[in-house]
Homo-oligomer: A and B are copies of this chain.
Amino acid sequence: MEKEGSAGKNAVAGGAGAIPALDTKDLQILRLLQENARITVREIASQVHLSTTPVHERIKRMEETGVIRQYVTLVDHAKVKKGLMVICYVSLKQHNKQSGAQFIRAIDAMEEVIECYNISGEFDFMLKVAVENMDAYYHFHVHKLSEIEDIGHLQSVFVMGIIKQTHQLVY
């Protein structure tokens, strides 16, 4: 059920420089870190029944292998004047490399856009936009988004309520 022989970590992995698979302890550590990035190594150690050294080494390894991407601080949207969230769909007029690259560059430079995905369906991109209020969104829509070259259709969906928001991928 939780057997971990000396070969446990590397047995599963694929090719040459493959990343060692995560074992039960690693996942326990990730679970704690996901909920609170500022938890101390000591606290983790006591909860997973290990001393600080292996916990420290495991965290470092997960940072180096990219399992742990970043430690971030989540801020209350409304309290930093970003209380309005809008989902925005964009299609481009042309689907060549140049148009796409140009669009991506423009999006990257817009701090209102907090997420952007390439999606299936009738639209090409989905954007998540965070702004202070409707006026700010109108300004963004008309004077920033629409100004990008080769923009085809635009469609906005407004977020009226947040039901659930989690960053917990590991359970």
Binding site for B on A (CB under 8 A): 19, 22, 30, 33-38, 65-77, 79-80, 82, 85, 87, 104, 107-108, 111, 113-121, 125-126, 130, 157-171
Kindly state the separation between the CA atoms of A170 and B74 in the bound complex, as whole angstroms.
Answer: 10
Shortest Cβ distance from A39 into chain B, in angstroms? 8
Do A120 and B160 touch (CB < 8 A)? yes
Q: Closest residue of chain B to A113, judged by CB?
A: B164
Do A71 and B38 touch (CB < 8 A)? yes
| Copies of this chain, count | 2
Chain B residues with Cβ below 8 Å from A66 are: 76, 79
Kindly state the separation between the CA atoms of A169 and B121 in the bound complex, as whole angstroms.
Answer: 29
Do A33 and B73 touch (CB < 8 A)? yes
Do A68 and B73 touch (CB < 8 A)? yes
Do B75 and A164 touch (CB < 8 A)? no
Sample (27) of A-B pairs whose CB atoms are under 8 Å apart: A22-B80, A33-B73, A36-B70, A38-B38, A66-B79, A67-B76, A68-B73, A68-B75, A71-B73, A74-B167, A75-B169, A80-B169, A85-B117, A87-B126, A104-B163, A104-B164, A114-B164, A114-B167, A115-B164, A116-B164, A117-B159, A117-B162, A118-B161, A118-B162, A119-B159, A119-B160, A120-B157
